Chains A and B, each alone.
Chain A
Amino acid sequence: EVQLVESGGGLVQPGGSLRLSCAASGFTFSSFWMSWVRQAPGKGLEWVANINEDGSETNYVDSVKGRFTISRDNAKNSLYLQTNSLRAEDTAVYYCASGGWLDFWGQGTLVTVSS
Chain B
Amino acid sequence: DIQMTQSPSSLSASVGDRVTITCRASQGIRNDLGWYQQKPGQAPKRLIYVASILQSGVPSRFSGSGSGTEFTLTISSLQPEDFATYYCLQHNSHPYTFGQGTKLEIK
Interface residues of chain A, those whose CB is within 8 Å of chain B, are 35, 37, 44-47, 50, 59-62, 95, 100-108
Contacts and interface: CB of A to CB of B under 8 A. Distances in A.
A47 B34 contact: no
Contact of A105 (B44, B94, B98): B44
A50 to B, nearest CB: 7
Interface residues of B, number: 22
Given A44-B87, A45-B44, A45-B87, A101 B98 contact: no
Contacts of B50: 101
Contacts of B49: 101, 103
Interface in B30-56: 34, 36, 38, 42-46, 49-50
Given A47-B89, A102-B34, A104-B46, A59 B100 contact: no
A105 B46 CA distance: 9
A50 B97 CA distance: 13
A105 B55 CA distance: 14
A62 B95 contact: yes
Contacts of B96: 35, 47, 50, 102
Contact of B95 (A47, A101, A103): A47
A107 B98 contact: no
